[in-house]
């Protein structure tokens, strides 16, 4: 019985010791996971310490010494195996984590290397393309200027430096918006800063003979937010073209003026023959003379158009202002075209929603504008068509703006193609429709009409669709002085 009690006490003591060591093992295991478990297990829990602790506990139980030692050794052996097993598990976990970290780092290094190589290839490609672009720009005969939003040149090719009178390589050091008093650029950006299109530049020289005229084709540079960040200008020297155009206009004006007097004499002579003032003529002679008179009138209109346009371009056209009823003017023009309209079965109507509407303008010049427009409509409107002349006051949102009268000449002709509408008011221009139906004309009628309307302070435009007719519209200020600023008086 006593032996059985001793065995129970020894077993209880061993279990208690085992519990203490397992608890200690748990603490040590958690610590070793953070700082390197394997070495700390071996350092802190040695065989001698375990044996000594077990022997100390068992000694108090009055068990023979050799059995105490044997029990302690067995417990130490078990704990050692357990510690080794736990350490092996921890070692494998640490090794797996380390290998995973190494693999991830290698993968990251590969990705960075690939990105670097890709970026390096792109940089080299961009460098090659930049050199090619610079070589092309430098070899262009036209000048190219790239500026930032402040007007500071970012790039300027040699042709631009030469055209602007700069020393080679000086373009990047200059601000083209400043120092315009020097003999370089008299006016580089004489329109709105953000406006695109073409503008002419006068480049000053030492004398009038060395002045140059450049045409600048501009394009505004914008970022992804639509903000203006710069501008590109392509400069072309048009000095020779301007000189040739001036000589041509002068030649045409001189020839037209010289032709007017003899042509007038021929017209009057033919008129005397047709009126039988100088003697009787037979029917065949009358037919030939009528044909001659018709062509003389056509040639007279051509010469008058050339002279009028030359005066308008030279700024020599003067307006003779008077106040007159608009409906009287439109009715007179309708009556003038009435015989021609009846011969084609065309109906001409006149309309104005404002009774007694009057306007201050040059009566003859305004008559010339509307006559040109109605004449064009008569040429292109088919038999049985209609032409409507309309005049009305335009409502303006701004009460300070001058009151404008809008004229509209509408027809039921074939219409005008979109590509022709933008250039129809240029001189010597014929539309595709006019060419197809072989309508002859000088190409000056609409150009003259545009100049006269703008001289009055108005504007002219066309609204048309093919196969749906055309509407030519223009505005004239009701009071000329309210729209056209007065010139300063000379002292």
Q: Structural domain boundaries of the chain?
A: 141-170+182-238, 242-313, 320-477
Residue 149 CA, distance from chain mean position: 15
CATH of 242-313, one of 3.40.50.880, 1.10.287.130, 3.40.50.720, 2.60.60.20: 1.10.287.130
Distance CA(256)–CA(263), nearest Å, equals 10
State residue 303's pLDDT score: 80
CB 369 within 8 A of CB 452: yes
Q: What is the layout of strands, in order, in the sheet containing 153-156?
A: 153-156, 143-148, 228-237, 212-222, 197-203
CA 70/CA 282 separation, integer angstroms: 163
**pLDDT computed for residue 490 by the predictor:** 36
**Residue-level pLDDT, tens digit, the chain, 491 residues:** 445 455 555 555 555 555 555 555 444 444 444 454 444 444 444 555 555 655 555 555 555 666 656 766 777 787 778 788 888 888 888 888 888 888 888 888 889 989 999 999 999 998 888 888 878 878 887 888 888 877 777 888 888 888 877 766 555 545 444 444 433 443 454 444 445 566 777 766 555 556 778 888 878 888 888 888 888 888 888 888 888 877 877 777 777 777 778 888 888 888 888 888 888 889 898 888 888 888 888 788 778 777 777 777 777 788 889 999 999 999 999 998 998 899 899 999 999 988 889 999 999 999 999 999 999 899 889 999 999 999 999 877 777 778 899 999 999 999 888 888 878 888 777 766 555 555 555 678 888 899 999 999 999 999 998 888 999 999 999 886 444 443 433 32
Q: Please give the structure tokens belonging to residue 438.
A: 């072989």
pLDDT at 243: 83
| pLDDT value of position 149 | 79
In the block, which residue shows the tokens 């106040």? 323
Give the whole-angstrom CA distance, residue 385 versus residue 351.
Answer: 17
Do residues 309 and 444 touch, judged by C-beta distance below 8 A? yes
**What pLDDT is attached to residue 405?**
93
b/e per residue, 102-135, with b = 16+ CB within 10 A? Answer: eeeeeeeeeeeeeeeeeeeeeeeeeeeeeeeeee
pLDDT at 348: 95
CATH 3.30.450.20: does it fit domain 141-170+182-238? Answer: yes
What is residue 181's predicted lDDT score, i.e. its pLDDT?
A: 40
The pLDDT, as a whole number, for residue 473 is 95
Beta bridge partners of 197: 218
Q: Cα separations (Å) of 63 from 5, 56, 58, 162, 485?
A: 12, 11, 7, 116, 130
pTM of the complete model: 0.52
The tokens of 358 are what?
A: 């009057």
Angle value at C-alpha 212, between 208 and 214, nearest 5 degrees: 155
> Check: CATH 3.30.565.10 for 320-477?
yes
Task: Choose among 438, 434, 396, 397: nearest CA to 416.
Answer: 434
How much is the pLDDT for 143?
Answer: 85
| Contact (Cβ atoms closer than 8 angstroms) between residue 391 and residue 407 | yes
Residue written as tokens 């000095």?
239
User: What are the phi and psi torsion angles at 417 (to 5°)?
Assistant: -65, 150
How far apart are alpha carbons 409 and 380 in whole angstroms?
13
Length of the chain: 491
Q: What was the pLDDT predicted at 458?
A: 92
Say yes or no: do domains 141-170+182-238 and 320-477 share a fold. Answer: no
SS3 for the chain, per residue? CHHHHHHHHHHHHHHHHHHHHHHHHHHHHHHHHHHCHHHHHHHHCCHHHHHHHHHHHHHCCCCCHHHHHHHHHHHHHHHHHHHHHHHHHHHHHHHHHHHHHHHHHHHHHHHHHHHHHHHHHHHHHHHHHHHHHHHHHHHCCCEEEEEECCCCEEEECHHHHHHCCCCCCCHHHCCCCCCCCCCCCCCCCCCCCCCCEEEEEEECCCCHHHCEEEEEEEEEEECCCCCEEEEEEEEEECHHHHHHHHHHHHHHHHHHHHHHHHHHHHHHHHHHHHCCCCCCCCHHHHHHHHHHHHHHHHHHHHHHHHHHHHHHHHCCCCCCEEEEEHHHHHHHHHHHHHHHHHHHCCEEEEECCCCCCEEEEEHHHHHHHHHHHHHHHHHHCCCCCEEEEEEEEECCCCCCCCCEEEEEEEECCCCCCHHHHCCCCCCCCCCHHHHHCCCCCCCCHHHHHHHHHHHCCCEEEEEECCCCCEEEEEEEECCHHHHCCCCCCCC
* Contact present, 471 and 462 (Cβ < 8 Å): yes
d(CA 366, CA 452): 8
């Amino acid at each position: 019985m006593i032996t059985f009690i001793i065995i129970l006490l020894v077993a209880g003591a061993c279990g208690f010791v085992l519990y203490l060591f397992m608890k200690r093992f748990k603490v040590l295991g958690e610590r070793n996971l953070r700082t390197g478990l394997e070495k700390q297990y071996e350092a802190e829990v040695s065989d001698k310490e375990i044996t000594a602790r077990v022997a100390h506990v068992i000694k108090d139980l009055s068990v023979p010494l050799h059995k105490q030692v044997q029990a302690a050794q067995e417990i130490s052996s078990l704990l050692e195996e357990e510690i080794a097993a736990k350490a092996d598990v921890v070692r494998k976990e640490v090794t797996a984590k380390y290998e995973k970290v190494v693999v991830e780092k290698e993968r990251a290094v590969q990705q960075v290397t690939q990105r670097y190589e890709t970026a390096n290839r792109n940089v080299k490609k961009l460098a090659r393309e930049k050199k090619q672009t610079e070589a092309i720009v430098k070899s262009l005969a036209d000048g190219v200027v790239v500026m930032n939003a402040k007007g500071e040149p970012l790039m300027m090719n040699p042709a631009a430096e030469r055209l602007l009178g700069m020393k080679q390589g000086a373009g990047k050091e200059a601000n083209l918006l400043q120092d315009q008093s020097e003999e370089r650029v008299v006016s580089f950006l004489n329109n709105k800063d953000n406006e695109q299109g073409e503008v002419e530049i006068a480049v000053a020289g030492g004398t009038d003979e060395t002045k140059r005229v450049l045409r600048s084709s501009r394009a505004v540079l914008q970022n992804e937010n639509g903000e203006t960040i710069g501008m590109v200008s392509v400069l072309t020297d048009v000095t020779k073209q301007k000189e040739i155009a001036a000589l041509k206009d002068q030649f045409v004006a001189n020839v037209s003026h010289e032709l007017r007097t003899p042509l007038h004499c021929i017209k009057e002579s033919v008129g005397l023959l047709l009126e039988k003032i100088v003697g009787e003529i037979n029917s065949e002679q009358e037919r030939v003379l009528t044909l001659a008179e018709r062509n003389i009138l056509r040639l007279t209109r051509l010469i008058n158009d050339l002279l009028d346009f030359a005066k308008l371009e030279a700024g020599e056209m003067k307006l003779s202002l008077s106040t007159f009823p608009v409906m009287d003017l439109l009715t007179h023009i309708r009556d003038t075209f009435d015989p021609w309209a009846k011969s084609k079965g065309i109906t001409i109507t006149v309309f104005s929603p404002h009774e007694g509407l009057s306007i201050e303008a040059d009566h003859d010049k305004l008559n010339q504008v509307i006559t040109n427009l109605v004449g064009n409509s008569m040429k292109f409107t088919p038999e049985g068509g209609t032409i409507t002349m309309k005049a009305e006051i335009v409502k303006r949102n701004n009460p300070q703006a001058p009151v404008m009268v809008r004229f509209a000449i509408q027809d039921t002709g074939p219409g005008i193609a979109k590509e022709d509408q933008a250039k129809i008011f240029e001189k010597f221009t014929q539309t595709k429709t006019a060419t197809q139906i072989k309508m002859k004309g000088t190409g000056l009628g609409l150009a003259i009409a545009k100049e006269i309307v703008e001289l009055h302070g108005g504007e002219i435009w066309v609204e048309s669709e093919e196969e749906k007719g055309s509407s030519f519209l223009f505005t004239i200020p009701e009071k000329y002085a309210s729209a056209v600023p007065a010139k300063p008086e000379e002292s």
